[in-house]
Amino acid sequence: KHRVFSGIQPSGGLTLGNYLGAIKRFVDMQDQGIETLYCVVDMHAITVWQDPEALRRQTRELAAGYLAAGLNPDRSILFNQSQVPEHAQLGWIFNCVARMGWMNRMTQWKDKAGKNAEKASLGLFAYPSLMAADILLYHATHVPVGEDQKQHVELTRDIAAKFNNDYDVAFFPLTEPVIEGAATRVMSLRDGSKKMSKSDPSDMSRINMTDDADTIAKKIRKAKTDPEPLPDTMKGLDDRPEARNLVRIYAALAEMTPDQVLADFGGQQFSAFKPALVDLAVDKLAPISTEMARLMQDPAEIDRILAGGAARARAIATPILERTYDIVGMVRG
Ligand code: AQP
């Protein structure tokens, strides 16, 4: 039986990378009729400093983004992590299963802590262990994520395997990452070697889900490219990361393969391709940002949906946590 879990941090506004790499695929999986749980991982967000008011707003905005993109709270379980305390409880147990060396090897830890690891929070170091708890608390079998999260899902498998081995049980599943589609790693519009990210200091590097049509048009017009026309197949873009990124974005938005896009645009200049990409992006993103703005006018309704989702999530999580405590040897009264 399939069960899907995934989450996004409310650590800023949503980007086109989050949409194409994650949310759009969350909706596809829901629509395939799979059991799906989608989380706003607020406890992950505070591994780096978050202003409390901003965190509250971003949590609701991310929930609004999920809903506006097509997640249906009757079909998917939508909730925020801190309302299901079992995540933290299982996370602690996994802190005692995972090894320091495993965490030390995580590229996200190395990127985010940088040379100043002494000053990073303990939570940032333990991030992948809490992420393993997020997933395994529901015995999730599949996790749709962007390319950058692959290593963390593999670590989740390592934690599950070590737990099962240490306690001689076949309890936690070995969860599969699901990384598919044309845009599993959307790159910065300013630098084709960097991931598009909500925390990039340059707003021109990313398209935000709340950008209006003029802003989207300006950012795509100014996106870095090269002077060559587009080739006929993706092979021709091997050494052209910025051009490759725009073709992949087009493909993901249009639900085509990148080679199909080049079958239409091969031989053409960016002066022809970019306006087509602007039209497509505005066409796909404007309805979502309009709906997000509408939903944000009623934060109490968003809070009600998150609380309802949390209650449903807890109903799945509680027996799994209780059984975990039992396996570990915790006395229950
Ligand atoms: N550029 C991207 N391309 C494809 N997928 C992406 N994701 C993020 N950026 C891209 C996917 O979005 C999901 C949620 O990510 P997250 O919020 O947990 O944190 P992140 O991966 O660290 O994303 P950001 O935008 O780069 O946030 P900051 O700047 O706060 O670190 C994940 O499935 C991720 O793969």
- Each residue's pLDDT tens digit, 207-238: 999 999 999 999 999 999 999 999 999 999 99
Assign 114 a pLDDT band (cuts: 50, 70, 90). confident
Is ligand 1 within 6 A of the CB of residue 245?
no
**79: DSSP letter:** E
- Give 160-182 pLDDT, tens digit per residue: 999 999 999 999 999 999 999 99
- Give 295-312 pLDDT, tens digit per residue: 999 999 999 999 999 999
Q: Whose CA is nearest to atom 22 of ligand 1?
A: 197
Give distance in angstroms: CA of 127 to centre of ligand 1: 14
Is ligand 1 within 6 A of the CB of residue 18?
yes
List every span in the chain annotated with CATH 1.10.240.10: 203-294
Cα distances (angstroms) measured from residue 260 to each of 59, 241, 252, 257: 37, 18, 11, 5
- Give 90-102 pLDDT, tens digit per residue: 999 999 999 999 9
Give distance in angstroms: CA of 174 to centre of ligand 1: 23
Q: Which atom of ligand 1 is nearest to the CA of 15?
A: 25
**Would residue 222 show up in a list of annotated catalytic residues for this protein?**
no
List every span in the chain annotated with CATH 3.40.50.620: 3-178+298-328
- Judge contact between 9 and 104, C-beta under 8 A: no
Alpha helices in 137-240 (DSSP H): 150-166, 213-222
Give distance in angstroms: CA of 229 to centre of ligand 1: 30
Q: Name the active-site residue from 150, 162, 194, 198.
A: 198
**Would residue 284 show up in a list of annotated catalytic residues for this protein?**
no
- Give 271-301 pLDDT, tens digit per residue: 999 999 999 999 999 999 999 999 999 999 9
Q: Which atom of ligand 1 is nearest to the CA of 41?
A: 18
> Which pLDDT score is estimated for 333?
85
Assign 50 a pLDDT band (cuts: 50, 70, 90). very high
Fold type of domain 3-178+298-328: Rossmann fold (3.40.50)
Give distance in angstroms: CA of 82 to centre of ligand 1: 20
Percent of the residues in the chain that have a pLDDT greater than 70, as a whole number: 100
- Residue 176 CB partners (closer than 8 Å, separation 6+): 141, 142, 143, 153
Task: Report ipTM for this prediction.
Answer: 0.95
Is ligand 1 within 6 A of the CB of residue 145?
yes
Please provide the CATH number assigned to the domain covering 203-294. 1.10.240.10
Q: Whose CA is nearest to atom 33 of ligand 1?
A: 145
- Give 12-41 pLDDT, tens digit per residue: 899 999 999 999 999 999 999 999 999 999
Work out the mean pLDDT of the chain and round it to a whole number: 97
Q: Look-up: residue for tokens 């529901």?
A: 138
